[in-house]
């Protein structure tokens, strides 16, 4: 039976890490692909440029706006059922935003007005363009619910997994050298003795390096899998996981109906 164990949650960084016990790489990769390809979010898809005499060509301005992540409310918005819903600007799967600025200086994502106050650009201080005297930008945007398998701008975040590392320490011949090279805090020197900080192990990318520094340090990997999610901000990490689980259930049910 598979069990999940929370390891770390960093809300300010939109990161969540948990341990999967009783699972394998196949299932972990399935969840990773569901997150990257299936979990829907809002992203700018159509742009009407009424005025743009900035240094950016219309195409570059559109590209910048399209790649800005938008906070998404999955309770309010859903994927469009057909092209007509997008064309008709259905309130259930599209969102209108406007950017009309004519001042000197940098224009930020927060300068855009959203028809839904809950769904605005994730990074308010993201720079869109810099305007000089007498330059202006007047753009109407339509954000549409979509999936990462169509375009990466709809992907909600990054998901990675790896097997759980297990550090074993024997007789360490050069504890000072290991401690001095432990820039990620996995090892520290206390009273001349090398100490392993377990809470730093899961984030370390230098474990194999430490085993090369001293033969008294060995690295092995258990069957457990460490799964990490970093959200781009459209959804919380828990919303991403919950949505991925719903898509998994739906796909399993669809397969069962075809058997």
CATH number at residue 66: 2.170.120.12
Residue 95 lies in a domain: yes
Q: Do residues 10 and 53 share a domain?
A: no
Supply the DSSP symbol for 111.
Answer: G
Q: Cβ distance 197 to 125 under 8 Å?
A: no
Residue 46 lies in a domain: yes
80 vs 90: CA distance, rounded Å: 8
Q: Do residues 69 and 119 share a domain?
A: yes
Q: Which domain holds residue 113?
A: 41-150
Query: For 239, phi and psi rounded to 5 degrees?
Result: -65, -40
213 vs 177: CA distance, rounded Å: 8
Does an H or E element contain 178, and which?
helix 175-181
Give, in degrees to the nearest 5, the angle at Cα 27 between 70 and 247.
Answer: 45
82 vs 79: CA distance, rounded Å: 9
Instruction: Supply the CATH number for residue 173's domain.
Output: 3.30.1360.10
Q: Do residues 17 and 95 share a domain?
A: no
Q: Cβ distance 199 to 244 under 8 Å?
A: no
Residue 253 lies in a domain: no
Distance of CA 19 to the CA centre of its chain: 18
Count of domains in the chain? 2
Tens digits of pLDDT across the chain (259 residues): 899 999 999 999 999 999 999 999 999 999 999 999 999 999 999 999 999 999 999 999 999 999 999 999 999 999 999 999 999 999 999 999 999 999 999 999 999 999 999 999 999 999 999 999 999 999 999 999 999 999 999 999 999 999 999 999 999 998 999 999 999 999 999 988 999 999 899 999 999 999 999 999 999 999 999 999 999 999 999 999 999 999 999 999 988 888 8
- Give Dmax over CA atoms of the chain in angstroms: 71
CA atoms within 13 A on the CB side of 49: 16
Residue 80 lies in a domain: yes
Neighbours of 232 (CB within 10 A): 18
Residue 237 lies in a domain: no
Q: Cβ distance 125 to 109 under 8 Å?
A: yes
Residue 70 lies in a domain: yes
Q: Do residues 25 and 59 share a domain?
A: no
Q: Do residues 107 and 178 share a domain?
A: no
Q: How far apart are the first and last CA of the chain?
A: 25
Residue 254 lies in a domain: no
Q: Which of 124, 150, 176 is the last residue of a domain?
A: 150
Residue 240 lies in a domain: no
């Amino acid at each position: 039976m598979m069990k999940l164990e929370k390891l770390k949650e960093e809300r300010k960084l939109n990161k969540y890490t948990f341990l999967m016990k009783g699972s394998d790489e196949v299932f972990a990769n399935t969840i990773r692909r569901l997150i990257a390809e299936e979990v829907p979010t809002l992203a700018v898809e159509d742009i009407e440029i009424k005025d743009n005499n900035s240094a950016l060509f219309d195409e570059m301005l559109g590209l910048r706006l399209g790649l800005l992540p938008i906070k998404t409310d999955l309770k309010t918005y859903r994927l469009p059922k057909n092209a007509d819903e997008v064309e008709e600007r259905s309130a259930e799967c599209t969102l209108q935003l406007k950017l009309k600025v004519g001042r000197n200086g940098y224009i930020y994502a927060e300068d855009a007005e959203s028809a839904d106050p809950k769904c605005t650009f994730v990074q308010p201080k993201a720079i869109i363009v810099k305007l000089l005297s007498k330059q202006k930008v007047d753009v109407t945007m339509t954000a549409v619910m979509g999936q990462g398998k169509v375009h990466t701008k709809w992907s909600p975040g990054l998901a990675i997994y790896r097997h759980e590392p297990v550090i074993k320490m024997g007789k360490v011949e050069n504890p000072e050298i290991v401690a001095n090279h432990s820039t990620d805090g996995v090892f520290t020197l206390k009273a001349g003795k090398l100490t392993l900080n377990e809470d730093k192990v899961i984030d370390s990318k230098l474990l194999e390096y430490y085993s090369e520094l001293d033969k008294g340090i060995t690295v092995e990997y258990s069957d457990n899998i460490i799964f990490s999610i970093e959200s781009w901000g459209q959804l919380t990490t828990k919303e991403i996981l919950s949505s991925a689980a719903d898509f998994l259930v739906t796909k399993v049910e669809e397969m069962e109906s075809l058997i």
